[in-house]
Chain A
């Protein structure tokens, strides 16, 4: 099988040398015997050795007066991954030097084809210690992946492999697309250049620093993408644990749903210490972790462990120094579509959390100076501060929440603090408190909220302490009138998103009483929050009412009810209203000329039976009863009065005494917004002109 040519004297030495190079078995050789031109060809069909498999080998050794030269060829060599298969391998060495201690070739040239990678006469230096068994390969990087630089591979039988490489201008897109990359990236790299400084030791400390410029990446759906990214990845350590440092300094990235502009928000840093990766189980452990998001936030973690089956374990501590920045870039994309999705936020937040199998076991959070303003004007809070301590098994330690000022749809709340305690599934109030509203307040005797399988279960007991109506009506944009609202709220239920209030609220207004019951709020922070209630109205003093609404002057009392009132944005969209002169003790009943005119004007289609000229002679009229009923559905109010008339009209004011006046309406379908507009016009002093 072996074909040998040349003088027999050189054959033994040459063949021995080939075997030494290819098989790695030490053999005696004596280059001193070489004189004149000697050539030795050796062909080996195939060669198998540990993790090396080669076939079609041929070796030519030439011994000339100038020195020893060697050429080796292999049609097919199988190296361990990631080197893989190499075809048409050719090694030329023109200056082979064989000494007692080592064999070296300082300017060997390599050719080969590895499919995606090629060697075209790359120059390398080879050295083999005959006694020590050391092997060294040094050379310039053969231009693979657009990079230039040099590398140094050294193998010591005791210390194993030692690889160094300093490469510049690596085409990261080409590298990422290379089939020999051991991991599959979830994104495609569009462009990007990298510089690599690698020092890898098989048994010992290794480091790798990859500096990346102008990196762009994108996934199939464009949900993960980055552009113009600059950063650095540094990995150092050994099998006992790796230290990983990642810094991204410039560029923009979108990782659904988050968009990060590093140029504006500062660099993102990540440091992990003592990372151990179990490739088979996809598990990962780390002694510690530290992350910084510009100046805005930082996160540290201890004792981290992750495996796909178990989830994440670890203790984390976070600091958010600029809540506004974190809200805008990280929280708001996640909260969009919820009530908290459109805030202008600021403040500071610190927290700790312990995770076991991705589930929180305990947490502590404290916040201060928090400002949050809903851009749709629904609510706002300023100077919020508090701290909470939570555990998943027992009630947490005492905490507190409070704010300097807040509002809900313009209804203002003054400074307030409450002592609270978390429960594994909720929160409870530790002692009674009061949220000041104008001169009164919302008293909270007991409050708790508990997450159950069917939704949050709210327990509330408290009441309203005398809030003056003068301020309240001002906030609601109603005509101002005095009075107060107070009451007990024995229970609040949260039912399918609706907040239902048990108990009754007493509104003392216009020297009468209005008792509110069945109060509920639907979709409080939605598009059209709905306030519903029913009310019993008892003996309002009409003189005070008409004065408040600048409606002329009516003396007398008014009682009635409003059932199933539904208000959207403080305007009724549905109700059954009835207001009448009470039958018992109706008191003095007089109505001024202007009030009659206003009622006439208000009705639009209402008609005064008394003639206008007649009216002008009298300032006041007596009346027996007056009243108004309205069944409001949407914009249409179906109206009626104290009595119906055979001609289809209805009596709004029934005269009494002389001169007698009767106000009769004929239009039973009244446009409610129109009615309100006219009321506003009358209050603005643009009363009707009676001719």
Chain B
């Protein structure tokens, strides 16, 4: 009798236990961080900035001369053009440095045609954004985006260009986070990917760059 009673009781217990079982596929935090770091270094093109040899840069693109308050006068445009010309070499070096790292993170796929295109687009834009990061006109937002901080020092005629660069960069970043989530068949990871990137953008930013803390307050690295 007791055994008979206990059979439905046990069944119920198991049913309840079974009902409580949830299958979690955890977000691969470490892999995501590693992937984000590779992408961010590539996009910023300033990892270990001075340490990366830049055979084409010559004396003109010394960090000191670049960070002077200039970078706004039209006369300096050719120098920026020269800097942009040097970029592919830098990008090449980084690409070689970075690829193996990315390849070592089997938990998060970041090698798809769409992601590669977005990264190339961001890499191409980086030299145009860099002087504005340095001057503090723009900075890293707390939502893994780029936010305008203060355009007062940017010449009026260039402000819409800065705004356009920021909008395009943010559009690329939105696509990037979405595509990484999609490439891993987990569209629901987009938010966590964005959070990871938000942290890594700030960590990898060179000193002097501005970023928003979680309260939205501007801080300088």
Contact with B along A509-536 (1 / 0, CB 8 A): 0000000000000010011101000000
| Docked pose: A223 CA to B164 CA in angstroms | 13
Total number of residue pairs linking A and B with CB closer than 8 Å = 82
Q: Is the CB of B148 within 8 A of A221?
A: yes
Once the chains bind, are A259 and B159 in contact (CB under 8 Å)? yes
With contacts A254-B159, A258-B160, A259-B160 taken as known, whether A222 is within 8 angstroms of B154 at the C-beta atoms is yes
Q: How many residues of A contact B (CB 8 A)?
A: 31
Docked pose: A223 CA to B148 CA in angstroms: 9
Contact B149 A252 (CB under 8 A): no
With contact pairs A225-B156, A225-B159, A338-B171 given, residues A528 and B117 touching in the complex (Cβ less than 8 Å): yes
Q: Is the CB of B151 within 8 A of A333?
A: no
With known contacts A222-B152, A252-B157, A527–B163 Cβ distance under 8 A:
no
- In chain B, what residue has the closest Cβ to A496? B187
CA distance A282 to B113 in the complex (A): 54
Contacts of A569 in B (CB 8 A): 113
With a cutoff of 8 Å between Cβ atoms, the chain A residues found around residue B137 in the complex are: 222
Question: When the two chains form their complex, are residues A221 and B151 in contact, meaning their CB atoms are under 8 A apart?
Answer: yes
Contacts of B54 in A (CB 8 A): none
| B76 in contact (CB, < 8 A) | no
Instruction: Report the bound CA distance from A222 to B158 in whole Å.
Output: 11
Say whether A530 contacts B153, CB under 8 Å. no
Cβ of A227 within 8 Å of any chain B Cβ, yes or no, is yes
Residues of A within 8 A of B187 (CB): 496
Write out, one digit per residue, whether chain A residues 233-264 have a CB within 8 A of any chain B CB (1) or not (0): 00000000000000000001110111101000
Q: Which residues of A contact B156 (CB under 8 A)?
A: 225-227, 252-254, 259
Count of B interface residues, CB-CB < 8 Å: 28
Check A526/B154 contact, CB under 8 A, given A221-B148, A254-B160, A259-B159.
no
**Most chain B beta carbons < 10 A, residue from A226, A338, A341, A526:** A526
A495–B106 Cα distance when bound, in Å, is 28
Are B114 and A336 in contact, CB atoms less than 8 angstroms apart?
no
Q: Which residues of A contact B113 (CB under 8 A)?
A: 528, 530, 568-569, 573
Q: Is B60 an interface residue (CB 8 A)?
A: no
The reply to whether the CB of A218 lies closer than 8 angstroms to some CB of chain B is yes
Interface membership of A337, Cβ < 8 A = yes
Q: Decide if A337 touches B167 in the complex (CB within 8 Å).
A: yes
* Interface membership of B29, Cβ < 8 A: no
Q: In angstroms, how far is the closest chain B Cβ from the Cβ of A414?
A: 31
User: Smallest Cβ distance from B145 to chain A, in angstroms?
Assistant: 11
B104 CB within 8 Å of chain A: no
Chain B residues closer than 8 Å to A530, beta-carbon distance: 113-114
State the CA gap A634–B183 with chains docked (Å): 12
A22 to chain B, nearest CB (A): 51
Q: Tell me, rounded to whole Å, the shortest Cβ–Cβ distance linking B181 to chain A.
A: 11
Inter-chain CA distance A226–B155, complex, in Å, is 11
Q: Are A221 and B152 in contact (CB under 8 A)?
A: yes
Q: Is the interface of A mostly helix, strand, loop or mixed?
A: loop
Complexed CA–CA distance, A341 and B168 (Å): 9
Contact A221 B149 (CB under 8 A): yes
Contact A527 B121 (CB under 8 A): yes
**B111 sits at the interface (CB 8 A):** yes
Taking a contact as CB atoms under 8 Å apart, the answer to whether A523 and B152 are in contact is no
- Contact: A568 with B152, CB < 8 Å? no
Q: Mark A258-278, 1 if CB is under 8 A from B, else 0.
A: 110100000000000000000
Q: Say whether, besides A221-B151, A223-B151, A252-B156, A257 and B171 are in contact (CB < 8 Å).
A: no
Minimum Cβ distance to chain B for residue A515 (Å) = 26
B150 at the interface (CB under 8 A from A): yes
Min CB distance A171 to B, Å, is 22
Within the complex, the shortest CB–CB distance from A216 to chain B, in Å, comes to: 9
Residues of B within 8 A of A341 (CB): 167-168
Most chain B CB within a 10 A radius of its CB, from A221, A225, A336, A527: A527
**Is B170 close to A, CB under 8 A?**
yes
B200 within 8 A of A: no
Residues of A within 8 A of B154 (CB): 222
Which residues on the B side are within 8 Å of A496 (C-beta)?
A: 187
Known A-B contacts A527-B114, A527-B118; the reply to A257 vs B157 at CB < 8 A is: no
B77 adjacent to chain A (CB < 8 Å): no
**CB of B81 to closest CB in A, whole Å:** 20
Nearest B residue to A223 by beta-carbon distance?
Answer: B151
A325-357 vs B, Cβ < 8 Å mask (1 yes, 0 no): 000000001001110010000000000000000
B175 close to A (CB within 8 Å):
yes
Contact: B152 with A218, CB < 8 Å?
A: yes
How far does the alpha carbon of A351 sit from the alpha carbon of B116 in the complex, in Å? 42
Neighbouring A residues of B171 by C-beta, 8 Å: 336-338
Residues of B within 8 A of A338 (CB): 171
In the complex, chain B residues whose CB is within 8 Å of the CB of A218: 152
Asked if A221 meets B157 with Cβ closer than 8 Å, knowing A337-B168, A527-B175, the reply is: no
Q: Beta-carbon contacts of B48-68 to A below 8 Å, as 1s and 0s?
A: 000000000000000000000
- Complex CA gap A258/B163 in Å reads 9
Say yes or no: A336 contacts B150, CB within 8 Å.
no
Residues of B within 8 A of A336 (CB): 163-164, 167-168, 171
Bound state CA distance, A157 and B159, in angstroms? Answer: 55
Partner of A337, one of B111, B149, B170: B170
Q: Which residue of B lies closest to A261 (CB)?
A: B157
The interface residues of chain B lying within 8 Å CB-to-CB of A259 are 156-157, 159-160
With a CB–CB cut-off of 8 A, which chain B residues contact A526? 114, 175
Closest residue of B by beta carbon distance from A529? B114
The answer to whether B117 and A527 touch across the interface, beta carbons within 8 angstroms, is yes
Minimum C-beta distance from A462 to chain B (A): 29
Q: Are A222 and B153 neighbours in the complex by a CB distance under 8 Å?
A: yes
- 6 pairs, A vs B, C-beta closer than 8 Å: A223-B148, A254-B156, A256-B163, A259-B156, A259-B160, A526-B114
What 6 A-B pairs have minimum CB-CB distances, sorted nearest first?
Answer: A337-B171, A222-B151, A259-B160, A222-B152, A528-B114, A527-B117
Told that A223-B148, A337-B170 touch, could you supply 14 new A-B pairs with CB distance under 8 A?
A220-B150, A220-B152, A221-B151, A225-B152, A252-B156, A256-B148, A256-B159, A261-B157, A333-B167, A336-B167, A526-B114, A527-B175, A568-B113, A634-B111
* Chain A interfacial positions (CB closer than 8 Å to B): 218, 220-223, 225-227, 252-254, 256-259, 261, 333, 336-338, 341, 496, 523, 526-528, 530, 568-569, 573, 634
